[in-house]
Structures are given as C-alpha cells and as structure tokens.
Amino acid sequence: MDEHLSKITEQLKKTKHITDDTLYEMKKIKAVSLLTSKRLDLIAKLKYLECLDKNYNYSFPRQLYEAHLQAFNGDNPCSEAGDDAKNNIDDYISTFKDLYKSFSDKGFCKDISLIPIGKDNVILDGAHRTAIAIYQNLTVDGLFFKDIEENYNYQFFEKNLLASNYLDYMVLEYCKRKQNTFVFCIWPKASNHLRKEAFNILYQKTTVVYEKDIPLTYNGFRNFMIQIYKDCTNWIGNCENHYKGVSSQLDNCYTTGKPLKIFVVEVSNKEEIVQIKKEMRAIFKVNKFSVHSTDNNLETVAMLNILLNANSVYLLNYGNPDKYVKLNQQIEIINKKIEENNLDRDSFVIDSGAVMALFGLRDISDIDYLSLTDISCIDSKTVENHHQALKFYQKNLEDIILNPNNYLVYQGLKFITLDVAKIMKRTRNLKKDLLDIDLIDKFQKSNGHSKKLIMAKCKFILHHQYRKIRLKLINLLKKMHLYDFLYKLLK
C-alpha cells in the first residue's frame, strides 16, 4: 500500500476509485485557498468553530451545523459513511472539539493525515480538518488528484433541501471571506426571452456562487434602490427630500409581478465585471435598466445583507424606512463614525423602538443599541448603549446580535426585528410598551394596511401628546410654586 494513500479513508478510495495506480501529487497549500464555492459546507463548519472558539452562547451555529449535516447524510443525518465513530450529532461535535484541540496543540500533522484535493482545489474529504486549518490560517499537506471532481455548491444544498435561511447565510459568509465576489442584479425590465443568453455569459465567464429570485413589491424595489444608490446624491437625492430621484430609475427598471433575479459570482480579476455587465446590457438593449452589479466586496456584502436576510426583505416590501428624516440623519452619523473608527458592523445591533420607525409606525427621539464590544465612540445625546434593557429580551446578547433570525439590516446597520422588539416590550410591560405592541400586532396582521392599524397609530399619538402636555403643565406649575399645593389637594 502506498504510504501517502494509506492516510486517506477507505470510503474515499472506494467512492472515487482511488487505487495504488492512481496518479497524485503531494504538496503544501495554504488552507484558506481551499475555501471554494464547491465546498460551501466549509462555511457551516467555520461558523460553528468560531462559536466554539469564542465561547458564544447562541443556538444558530449549531442549528446550521446540524442542518448542513442532514443535507449531506439524508436519512441518517448524524452518521457518516465509513466512520463508525460518528453516529449522532454529539459524536460529530465531540470529534470536532477534539480535533480543534489537537490542531491548537500540535498544528497540522502530515504524519497523521493528509488532505485529499481534487480538481480546482476542491477538497475530497477532511472538511473538518480543513475548516480548522482555515480558521487557524495554517498551511496543510495535500494529495492532489487533478482528474477527480467533487461539488458541494449551492445547487447541491438546494437539491438536498437545506432551508433557504441557512443557505443564504452560508453564501453571505462565504462572500465576506472572498474579495473577488460580486452580485449581478437582473432588473424585471430585462426581457424573459433574452435572459438565457445573458445568463450564459455569467456561467461561462464567472464561477456562479448562487442564483436566486427575490420577490419584491414596487415598494420593495424602491427601498432596495434607495440603499444601493444612496451615494448617488446627484440624482437620487437624500433622506431630507425622501430620495425624490429614485422614482424615475425605478419606473425604468420595474415590471409588475416579476422578481429581482440575482447572481452571486466569483472572478479571478475584478476588471472582468465591467466587461461582463456591458455584454449583458447589449443583449437586453434597454441601456442600464436591465443589469446592475456591485463594484467591490464592500458593496457585495452590503447588498447581500439586504437580500439574503428574510427580515431585511420584509422591511423592503412593507417598510417605510425613509419616513422619519431625523432617524435617517442619525443613521448617517453613526455610519460615518463606524467608518472613521473602523468598527465591526456585525458586533452590535440597534434595539428598542428604532425598528418601529423603519416600518413607519412611529418616530423616535433617540437610538439605543446593544453591543458585544466597546463602541462608545458612536455615543451622543441621542445615541447610547442600552445594555440595562437586556434582561427584558429573554435572549442572550449573542443571540440578539449574531443570530440572523433576530435582526434585519438597513443602510448597513443591524436592527432587531419587530418580533424581538415585542418580546422586550411585553416583558418590560410599561404603558408605552403596550401601545407599541398593539401597533406592531396590527401592522403584522395586515402588512401595514388596515383601519385597525390607523386607529392604533391615533391611539399612540394621543397618548404621546397627553404625556407632552402633562409634562409641560407640571413644569409650569412648579415654576409658579403651585405644584406641591395642587398635588396634595388632589391626592
């Protein structure tokens, strides 16, 4: 038996027909270069590994890890062919933890195992070892089989029924790690009968990481365009004039009833993107109203934070995020401070009532946030840490901030969802919280369109005005030195 081949599993040899006569090359390779779109499963392993390493206390990484194993193993989601030591999820996790400890103590040891690698640097086995090596930025020893292929891309996981929220999350996290990833948006105006020809360009000239239809209403397209074109103030406008220029662009790109089609692609040279976009637009012949693309990785991640999060898409379709100007002005200030101080956008979330303002339910006077790290540099008279309210959420801090089921993204910032806001307000149970819960419930039942919602808004406004008048009256009576007398008289 070949010494090197003895360090790969019998199961792999059997499925890939590897024998002592199979040609291979042994060489070292940076583990990070083994992260490809044909092994999206590595993302699930990396995120769970990050959770273990940082001792995060939230459930989503484990749920993702279990779900992607089920996609691999079908009827026996927690067993692995050829490995009798893995019969349930706890076996997988225990083995993963032991392997991580071993790598931390000794690094990657070629005397124990080698990473089998096929065509296009796609690993054939050893995904957990590879994930650990990527996480620790190690160099590994691989056996390269240039004629053997493997493919666990997005289509594999769609075929094997991985829930869309997990697949969306894996693609987003993949793009955070890959600088040469871009998004192509195919606007509804692009003719159906020309789409196949245009899409073939993408499949021929790029690696397609993901393809998806995003159902957007007219309002959804408007809110999406406001975010992706927000820096084009010369024609789109700004929050003060409610982006008055977006309507003409929207009408040129929109067709009723057709979704937004997106392609997430990877290229070796980002200069190719401009040429590909030019070729696709030439096919559709409607100028720039058929295809849009991101220009860099920052734009890619920002766009996918919007489109690959169901809560963010719900805000697009049913929200009114530019209704309150002061909120949007505060968001611009926060974003500027984030960029100036190089803060991690994933490490905090805006909580309390701000999400209600995004849906046009009511205005707010200040912005509260929860954070995993010190971001006090964004604090001001109207922006402050809200950690004292954490006890009302019935969720731990990591779950609120890091679990994509609990937040949405607007203008690059995370906000808790309406459902999470309701949990906090129901637990705190102040008078204003009960009014907010009523507003949220009526909104969610009708997606923002009902007479009951209008009545709930009127009720809130009356209560808010009553509180303002009451406070002014108390201050006036105190200045006149009548407050204590009247208080005792009416008590």
Tens-level pLDDT at each residue, the chain (491 residues): 688 999 999 999 999 999 999 999 999 999 999 999 999 999 999 999 999 999 998 899 999 999 999 998 875 555 555 555 667 888 889 999 999 999 998 889 888 889 999 999 999 999 999 999 999 999 999 999 999 999 999 999 999 999 999 999 999 999 999 999 999 999 999 999 999 999 999 999 999 999 999 999 999 999 999 999 999 989 999 999 999 999 999 999 999 989 999 999 999 998 999 999 999 999 999 988 999 999 999 999 999 999 999 999 999 999 999 999 999 999 999 999 999 999 999 999 999 889 999 999 999 989 999 999 999 999 999 999 999 999 999 999 999 999 999 999 999 999 999 999 999 999 999 999 999 999 999 999 987 665 555 555 455 455 445 556 766 766 776 777 766 766 666 66
Q: What pLDDT score does 84 carry?
A: 59
**Contact call for residues 210 and 307 (beta carbons, < 8 A):** no
For residues 161 and 454, give the distance between their C-alpha atoms in angstroms, rounded to a whole number: 41
Q: Indicate if the alpha-carbon torsion angle 277, 278, 283, 285 is positive or negative.
A: positive
For residues 212 and 228, give the distance between their C-alpha atoms in angstroms, rounded to a whole number: 18
CATH architecture classification, 163-308: 2-Layer Sandwich (3.30)
Q: In 3D, which of 287, 291, 239 has the Cα closest to residue 263?
A: 291
The pTM of the full predicted model, rounded to 2 decimals, is 0.89
For 97-105, the CB contacts below 8 A with 24+ separation are 97/52, 99/128, 99/129, 99/132, 100/49, 100/52, 100/53, 100/132, 103/129, 103/132, 103/133, 103/136, 103/138, 104/136
Q: Hey, is 133 helix, strand or coil? A: helix
**If you compute the radius of gyration of the chain from its CA atoms, what whole number of angstroms results?**
27
For residues 419 and 441, give the distance between their C-alpha atoms in angstroms, rounded to a whole number: 9
Q: Hey, is 430 helix, strand or coil? A: coil
Tokens of 291: 């295809």
For residues 430 and 268, give the distance between their C-alpha atoms in angstroms, rounded to a whole number: 56
Q: What pLDDT score does 462 carry?
A: 54
Tokens of 297: 């990785």
For residues 397 and 403, give the distance between their C-alpha atoms in angstroms, rounded to a whole number: 10
Q: Which residues contact 342 (CB under 8 A, 6 or more apart)?
A: none
**Contact call for residues 200 and 172 (beta carbons, < 8 A):** no
Domain coordinates in residue numbering, the chain? 5-150, 163-308, 325-471
**Contact call for residues 18 and 12 (beta carbons, < 8 A):** yes
The DSSP element (H or E) to which 458 belongs, if any, is helix 451-479
Q: What pLDDT score does 358 carry?
A: 97
